[in-house]
Amino acid sequence: MTTSERSEAKREKIGFVGLGTMGQFMASNLVNSGFAVTVWNRTSERTAPLAELGATRAASPAEVARASDIVVACLTDSPQVEEVLFGPNGLAEGFSSGSLFVDCSTLSPLKAREFAERLAPLGVTTLDAPVSGASEGAKNATLSIMVGGADGDVERAQSVLNAMGRTVTHLGDVGAGQWAKAINQVILAGTYLGVAEGVALGLKAGLDVERVLGALRGGAAGSWVLESRSGRMIEDDYPLGFKISLHRKDLGIGLELAQSVGAVLPVTALAATFEDGIIAQGFGDDDNSALARPIRKLSGL
Amino acid sequence: MTTSERSEAKREKIGFVGLGTMGQFMASNLVNSGFAVTVWNRTSERTAPLAELGATRAASPAEVARASDIVVACLTDSPQVEEVLFGPNGLAEGFSSGSLFVDCSTLSPLKAREFAERLAPLGVTTLDAPVSGASEGAKNATLSIMVGGADGDVERAQSVLNAMGRTVTHLGDVGAGQWAKAINQVILAGTYLGVAEGVALGLKAGLDVERVLGALRGGAAGSWVLESRSGRMIEDDYPLGFKISLHRKDLGIGLELAQSVGAVLPVTALAATFEDGIIAQGFGDDDNSALARPIRKLSGL
Amino acid sequence: MTTSERSEAKREKIGFVGLGTMGQFMASNLVNSGFAVTVWNRTSERTAPLAELGATRAASPAEVARASDIVVACLTDSPQVEEVLFGPNGLAEGFSSGSLFVDCSTLSPLKAREFAERLAPLGVTTLDAPVSGASEGAKNATLSIMVGGADGDVERAQSVLNAMGRTVTHLGDVGAGQWAKAINQVILAGTYLGVAEGVALGLKAGLDVERVLGALRGGAAGSWVLESRSGRMIEDDYPLGFKISLHRKDLGIGLELAQSVGAVLPVTALAATFEDGIIAQGFGDDDNSALARPIRKLSGL
Amino acid sequence: MTTSERSEAKREKIGFVGLGTMGQFMASNLVNSGFAVTVWNRTSERTAPLAELGATRAASPAEVARASDIVVACLTDSPQVEEVLFGPNGLAEGFSSGSLFVDCSTLSPLKAREFAERLAPLGVTTLDAPVSGASEGAKNATLSIMVGGADGDVERAQSVLNAMGRTVTHLGDVGAGQWAKAINQVILAGTYLGVAEGVALGLKAGLDVERVLGALRGGAAGSWVLESRSGRMIEDDYPLGFKISLHRKDLGIGLELAQSVGAVLPVTALAATFEDGIIAQGFGDDDNSALARPIRKLSGL
């Protein structure tokens, strides 16, 4: 894409629905990158900071769609996406032929394809573009974005995606991004549990665990989790980040996909049942690193 | 430490025993850094490349100790360290008062302390200095080195350790390095299994897994294992690296320590029993990333 | 219930839908106990042996319902029950006010309640009455039957249930039987894996495992699985019994229920993902004892 | 064995060392069966009830050995057996050629063979005869006894073993009994965890779990654990029984054996690490059914 094409792309009007932990930062980065952005959120007060930055507030998803060429969504789960797309005053009511829907929510690839197929008759094309990197990745526009969809649509959305993330990878047709995200969450489960077990061992031994983990960072045990989340596990305090209840939802998708293709995921299965307990005990809004809770608890910490 | 002190330290004569996958590179880096190094290995042919670089070959550990001020060991396990230290023609026979023994082998902290206590009456001091970073870390002198021992001894060995690794962290008294290494291996187990499960899911789904994992690298699932070892898991080919049989030994240490302090390590326990099967089936000399084997096998890959 | 009441109950006409591994025996036992039974099965040839015993064949579930006072179902899963109840020519078309539906299929308690609520407006009452004991329990009428529903309905169905099982326990309202069955399947998962691990250890050690297990039977490790299923694990041959694909479906129900109430089930979660692999590899029609396959495979057997 | 032979066997004088939870009952049963029994225990007050029944008290294991033809031991672990056999005033000092040592303790088969080999030069033969069935099995003489040793020795000890257990199985040479016991403990781990998960699911759902489990007893989920230990799990109160710290020791033996032969035991590995936490938190003297603790705790019960 040449510079002139990119500036043309910027001239496309952008809509953004879903201003949660991640979405608020992603939408801000779009505004700050010079895009004209129209925003909507279920609880409207969350639109205020965006409006201050220069975004336009809309009263409904339909209104967002009418005001935009490309609409980005960052929602919790597939029922919510379905509601925002096809419910009353949903995006589908406002889309016109040629609209592009970029869904940064994490869904099953099957749901992503289903929604794309329901939009197609309206002349609307879809990219699934789930992200990884937690709130700090969203804030600093360093997210990894995993994209599924048609080449032309990916090209068209490139400058939008670049404004929100550092690594944008086109992985195949619609749904391919969601497959990658499911794999991301599976890998994350094992990495979290590995670090949690190391933390528990060090704490029980009475070591200065922060210092110990500092010594390991550059070695084979190094990871984003070790670097960015082990401190929370040591403190037993789990500010967001990324909600563990959402990770549990994503592991549910991963385990369903695994069942459908016959992949056997013992550690993911353990993580999922551990997270069920965490959530039921009222910690679902904790950061994903709260996956250390059951390991700590089993260890009497 | 000032530059002049460092150059003085370099004038200390170094011994090195144990030229395996890791040790050969570590000893080479010492020679290449300008140290006078005397080497010994159980199978003497492995000393030839070191001799070509300029190292002196010794006929026994005792001879190494007699020729050196500081002796570095990089051996397989505590029985081997005990034999090389206290067996016939062992290091203990050659050490003189003031010798410093730097043990880069991975042992139980209890064994590290026991050996240090047996050396103390000879006037020999000990550092435990296990390393992480696999063969490429050893080759490129980018190892993480976790050090336990007295301040003065750590200072004395600093230039030696710096010649072999990038991060050298002093963590406490003798044994503290081994505690950190045990934690390293525990964290590694979870990280390996997490990546292995992600790889299995992607392969079963028929995805271009290398491309998918490339998309995840910069995100929350990023790790040294993902970066450096997922390719082997995709290919189902596990060249060294770091032997999985040694990782199993280290997990044995980790699980014993966990039992002694009451830490509960479910994923580590799973990894250890999986590795038992891998080793019994003849793959103990594979790289640690062969921990993907049972996950692949369970998934019918 | 007095003898005369029981003989009166016997005069109720019975319908039976679903003549699979379990259902064929259960229906036969009803016929052999003197009930007038009308049968239907999706593939009609399975009705022939029942007809020979004296049962009447019906062309559709609706016809069964019209011919019967009490209809017993023994179907695979909730979509199948929904189809047979509410699909074209389904039971609901034939039921009349006062009909009693006894569902021996294994479903989610939520589905059991949903179906009962949809039948209620027709004047039809429901018992959920899932069973445990595998094909030999069905054959020998030694099943454990876990019943949910109203007192009066349980009383009315008592002689029918007694003809199929040895232990009939009324556990609460509609759905209570399904809760108990989910718990049964969870317990079974751990018991199977425990026995499978014992078998694998014995086989790898080269012991006469059948003799060893014989020695354990009367002790603390004794169980129905040890008694009745360890032989299949030793032989690595898994004739029915009870299909492992159905157990996997049931564990899915158990894990969903666990998630909803916050119970953490690590061994069940492991069993479920192991079974995913077994089924994907083409062994879903094996007996449940094939849960030994992954343990054998991991152990190189 | 004819009646006259059995009465002759009864004329052999019996020694018994180790009057713990199990041993006190086993020794009592020997006395009550008409054997002349000499007893010793590390803490001598435990010999008083046996003396009241008619046993003779000895001041040391050596004295027991001198007074007896056959000595039965029921001790905690191999260090304790080694001490009682070969320590000062140990059995070995009192044995004479022709003595038979029947070890009902649970040890590694390797240790059992080692001790037998050390006794052989004294003319002393050995049976390993570990038991299963917990304190009630010991009390009611319904233990399962797994025996390794020479045919003649088993025949000689038959009436002694029959006085303590219901099922006595000769499984091979010395060590064979211990192999069977290790397998017993492995199977038990899975069975306990399976029942514990079922209990947790039922409790979280607010069911009358005792009634639910009663309904399952005769079905496929039936086991000694379900029958005899689920009540403790429901009450979260774990009176002996059989100490969980001893089960952990036995799982350590099982996992070591598994490693040596390449058997992969994921559930056993989980149980062992769970038990480490239980014991470290001060519950090592609880009954084995306390393996429900971590499942309850994870589930927030």
Query: pLDDT for A56-76, tens place per residue?
Result: 999 999 999 999 999 999 999
A&C contacts, CB < 8 Å: 52
Give the integer Cα–Cα distance in Å for B90 and B98: 17
Q: Find residue B71's DSSP bridge partners.
A: B15, B101
Crossing angle of helices B266-278 and D244-261, rounded to 10°: 30
What are the angstrom distances between the C-alpha of C241 and each of B116, C49, C289, D230, D272? 61, 19, 8, 26, 31
The residue of chain A nearest to residue D276, with distances taken between CA atoms, is A299
Contact A269 C272 (CB under 8 A): yes
B&D contacts, CB < 8 Å: 52
CB < 8 Å to C279, chain A: 262
A&D contacts, CB < 8 Å: 23
Q: Is C76 on the interface with B (CB under 8 A)?
A: no
What's residue D1's pLDDT? 42
Say if residue C7's pLDDT is above 80: no
CB < 8 Å to D298, chain A: 274, 277, 294, 297-298
Catalytic residue (one of B111, B181, B243, B249)? B181
CB < 8 Å to B266, chain C: 266
Q: What is the mean pLDDT of residues B112-138?
A: 96
Residues of B numbered 262-281 whose beta carbons fall under 8 angstroms of chain D's beta carbons: which are they? 262-266, 268-270, 272-274, 276-277, 279-281
Q: For residue C73, how many C-alpha atoms fall within 13 Å in the half-sphere facing its CB?
A: 30
Q: How many residues does chain A have?
A: 301
Interface test mutation site (partner B, options A212, A224, A230, A297, max chain B beta carbons within 10 A): A212
Q: Exposure pattern of C40-49 as b/e (b: 16+ CB <10 Å)?
A: bbeeeebbee
Please give the average pLDDT of every successive group of 10 residues along chain D, which has 301 residues. Answer: 48 95 97 97 96 97 98 97 98 98 97 98 98 93 96 97 97 97 98 98 97 94 97 97 96 98 98 98 98 98 97
Specify whether the CB–CB gap between A71 and A99 falls below 8 A: yes
Give the integer Cα–Cα distance in Å for C158 and C149: 12
Say if residue A109's pLDDT is above 90: yes
Give the integer Cα–Cα distance in Å for C256 and C267: 15
Nearest by CB to residue B166, choosing from A218, A223, A298, is A218
SS3 percent helix, strand, coil of chain D, rounded to 5, is 60, 15, 25
Which residues fall within 8 angstroms of residue A210, CB to CB, at 6 or more apart? A230, A231, A234
**Residue D181 annotated among the catalytic residues of the structure:** yes
Say if residue C3's pLDDT is above 50: no
Interface test mutation site (partner A, options D291, D297, D298, max chain A beta carbons within 10 A): D298
Q: Is C300 on the interface with B (CB under 8 A)?
A: yes
ipTM of the complex: 0.94
**Residue A65 token pair:** 């769609």
What's residue B246's pLDDT? 96
Crossing angle of helices B209-216 and A176-204, rounded to 10°: 60
Q: What is the mean pLDDT of residues C82-104?
A: 98
Q: What is the mean pLDDT of residues B179-186?
A: 98
Positions of CATH 3.40.50.720 in chain A: 3-173
The residue of chain C nearest to residue A248, with distances taken between CA atoms, is C259
Phi first, then psi: give them for residue D47, nearest 5 degrees: -85, -15
Quick one: CATH architecture of C179-298?
Orthogonal Bundle (1.10)
Collapsing DSSP states into helix, strand and coil, what is residue D69?
coil
Contact D216 C172 (CB under 8 A): no
Q: Is B215 on the interface with D (CB under 8 A)?
A: no
Catalytic residue (one of D181, D204, D243, D297)? D181
What's residue B7's pLDDT? 52
Give the integer Cα–Cα distance in Å for D60 and C140: 57
Catalytic sites of C, residue numbers: 181
What's residue D7's pLDDT? 52
Nearest by CB to residue D277, choosing from B264, B277, B294, is B264
Contact C190 D197 (CB under 8 A): yes
Which residues fall within 8 angstroms of residue C259, CB to CB, at 6 or more apart? A276
Contact D266 B270 (CB under 8 A): yes
Write the DSSP assignment of A186-231 as a string of letters: HHHHHHHHHHHHHHHHHHHTT--HHHHHHHHTTSTT-BHHHHHHHH
Residues of C numbered 108-137 whose beta carbons fall under 8 angstroms of chain D's beta carbons: which are they? 131-134, 137
Nearest by CB to residue D215, choosing from C169, C188, C270, is C169
* Closest residue by Cα to residue A61 from A84, A29, A80: A84
Interface test mutation site (partner A, options C251, C255, C264, C291, max chain A beta carbons within 10 A): C264
Contact C273 A269 (CB under 8 A): yes
Contact B137 A298 (CB under 8 A): no
Specify whether the CB–CB gap between A167 and A196 falls below 8 A: no
Task: Check residue C279 and report its DSSP letter.
Answer: I
Q: At which residue do the structure tokens 């803490």 appear?
A: D43
Q: Is C258 on the interface with A (CB under 8 A)?
A: yes
Q: Is C298 on the interface with A (CB under 8 A)?
A: no
Residue type at C42 in one-letter notation: R
Chains in touch with C (3+ beta-carbon pairs under 8 Å) read A, B, D
Give the integer Cα–Cα distance in Å for C78 and C186: 19
Q: Is D246 on the interface with C (CB under 8 A)?
A: no
Give the integer Cα–Cα distance in Å for D290 and D232: 8
Q: Which band of pLDDT confidence, cut at 50, 70 and 90, is reported for residue C237?
A: very high
Q: Exposure pattern of C103-118 as b/e (b: 16+ CB <10 Å)?
A: bbbbbbbebbbbbbee
Which residues fall within 8 angstroms of residue C270, CB to CB, at 6 or more apart? A266, A269, A270, C193, D266, D267, D270
In sequence order, which ranges of D54-140 are alpha helices (DSSP H)? Answer: 61-67, 78-86, 91-94, 109-119, 134-139
How far is the alpha carbon of B248 from chain D, nearest alpha carbon, in Å? 10
What are the angstrom distances between the C-alpha of B218 and each of A291, B193, D160, D206? 21, 19, 69, 45
Give the integer Cα–Cα distance in Å for A176 and A149: 8
One-letter-per-residue 3-state SS of A127-156:
EECCEECHHHHHHCCCEEEEEECCHHHHHH
CB < 8 Å to B280, chain C: 204, 299-300
Which residues fall within 8 angstroms of residue A170, CB to CB, at 6 or more apart? A147, A148, A149, A151, A154
Q: Kindly indicate whether the domain formed by D3-173 is annotated with CATH number 3.40.50.720.
A: yes
How far is the alpha carbon of B278 from chain D, nearest alpha carbon, in Å? 8
Contact A268 B214 (CB under 8 A): no
| pLDDT tens, residue by residue, D241-281 | 899 999 999 999 999 999 999 999 999 999 999 999 999 99
* Closest residue by Cα to residue D99 from D157, D173, D164: D157
CB < 8 Å to D204, chain A: 280
Collapsing DSSP states into helix, strand and coil, what is residue A104?
coil
What's residue A7's pLDDT? 52
Contact D272 B269 (CB under 8 A): yes
Interface test mutation site (partner C, options A244, A250, A259, max chain C beta carbons within 10 A): A259
Collapsing DSSP states into helix, strand and coil, what is residue B175?
coil
| pLDDT tens, residue by residue, C148-201 | 999 999 999 999 999 999 999 999 999 999 999 999 999 999 999 999 999 999
Q: Is C206 on the interface with B (CB under 8 A)?
A: no
Which residues fall within 8 angstroms of residue C172, CB to CB, at 6 or more apart? C148, C179, D207, D208
pTM of the complete model: 0.95
The residue of chain A nearest to residue D267, with distances taken between CA atoms, is A266
Contact D300 A277 (CB under 8 A): yes
Catalytic residue (one of A10, A13, A139, A181)? A181
Specify whether the CB–CB gap between C94 and C62 falls below 8 A: yes
What's residue A4's pLDDT? 46
Contact C207 D176 (CB under 8 A): yes
Contact D276 B259 (CB under 8 A): yes
* Closest residue by Cα to residue D154 from D70, D95, D76: D70
What's residue A11's pLDDT? 77
Say if residue C111's pLDDT is above 60: yes
How far is the alpha carbon of D203 from chain A, nearest alpha carbon, in Å? 14
CB < 8 Å to A280, chain C: 261-262
How far is the alpha carbon of A198 from chain D, nearest alpha carbon, in Å? 14
* Closest residue by Cα to residue A162 from A32, A69, A73: A32
Specify whether the CB–CB gap between A183 and A106 falls below 8 A: no
Q: Find residue D147's DSSP bridge partners.
A: D170
Q: What is the mean pLDDT of residues A264-292?
A: 98
* Type and span of the H or E element at C190: helix C176-204
Mean pLDDT for all residues in chain A? 95
Positions of CATH 1.10.1040.10 in chain D: 179-298
CB < 8 Å to A266, chain D: 266
* Type and span of the H or E element at D57: strand D56-57
Specify whether the CB–CB gap between D196 and D213 falls below 8 A: no
Contact D298 A294 (CB under 8 A): yes
